[in-house]
Amino acid sequence: MIDSDITIVSATDDGFVPHLATLFLSILKTKKDETRINFYVIDDNISLTSKDALNRMVNEYNASISYLQIDTLTFEDMVESDRIPKTAYFRIAIPNYLKHTDIKRAIYLDCDIIAKEDVENIWNIDLGDNLLAAVEDAGFHERLDAMEIDAESNTYFNSGMMIIDIEKWRAEKISEQVLKFATDNSDELRFHDQDALNAILHDRWLVLHPRWNAQAYIITKEQKHPTKIGNQEYTEARNEPALIHYSGHVKPWQSESDHPYRDEYLNVRAETPFPMEDEG
């Protein structure tokens, strides 16, 4: 056993708080009553009004919420885009933000995810010698080759969901290595923080079933897996996603979304303190 409490970490600015609330509420509604969830939010200028609403929502359950202050200057020179904001880099330094705690493990989740299954089902997974567990990225199976990374396996993970061994990560100064790679190779980072994480952690992560990061490419059948087993797992992920990741440009809170699981997001969102308005 790692811990009876489950640690969840996410990062957001004030504009993405409604989606963070939807993620958190989906986790709270799918957990066992006796399971305690400790949420940590990497705070990129979240307003006091938003924090108050989040706190009241979380406090209705067996859960806590804490806010982690960050030094944004560390990420000032990181390359970003309209789809991948600077906040995406904050996940790289999660173990350093938690250094004053006794937390040994954490699950990092992007805000555009909702839980359909109890996260406790993967919380105590044996990582072995690996520093994290994650799901293969659904779209870019040759990415490590493209980056000319010398790796035993060409498998490339999606960084939207990661189970992180906090102690090993901090002991090996992984955050510092990843940030240095991102800085030194900024012109080659097509997928920004995710490229940098894979460049450093290739061959040192445990592959999870795609149910635990059911990305849009999987759900919409936009990508086929290059292996027969992989395609079977994609079918299983489509039929029974445990964590739905609304990756891609079009999000379920946008009117043009035709995501097969859009209603799952909307139904949970409606129960948060941030009900839907017309967000276009």
Condensed to tens digits (0 to 9), the pLDDT of residues 129-166 reads 999 999 999 986 678 777 777 877 888 999 999 999 99
Backbone angles phi, psi at 168, to 5 degrees: -65, -40
pLDDT at 184 (0 to 100) = 84
Q: Which residue has the higher pLDDT, 87 or 160?
A: 160
pLDDT of 2 > 80? The answer is no
Q: In whole angstroms, what is the distance from residue 129 CA to residue 108 CA?
A: 19
Condensed to tens digits (0 to 9), the pLDDT of residues 199-221 reads 999 999 999 999 999 999 999 99
Strand order across the beta sheet in which 105-109 lies:
63-69, 36-44, 5-13, 105-109, 157-165, 132-136, 205-207
Structural domains of the chain, ranges and CATH numbers in brackets: 5-269 (3.90.550.10)
User: Which residues fall within 8 angstroms of residue 6, CB to CB, at 6 or more apart?
Assistant: 31, 35, 36, 37, 38, 107, 119, 120, 123
pLDDT at 146 (0 to 100) = 74
pLDDT at 85 (0 to 100) = 56
pLDDT at 1 (0 to 100) = 45
pLDDT of 77 > 80? The answer is no
pLDDT at 88 (0 to 100) = 65
pLDDT at 72 (0 to 100) = 56
Condensed to tens digits (0 to 9), the pLDDT of residues 216-233 reads 999 999 888 989 999 999
pLDDT at 185 (0 to 100) = 79
Taking every pair of Cα atoms in the chain, the longest distance, rounded to a whole number of angstroms, is 50
Q: Average pLDDT of 84-110? A: 84
pLDDT at 86 (0 to 100) = 61
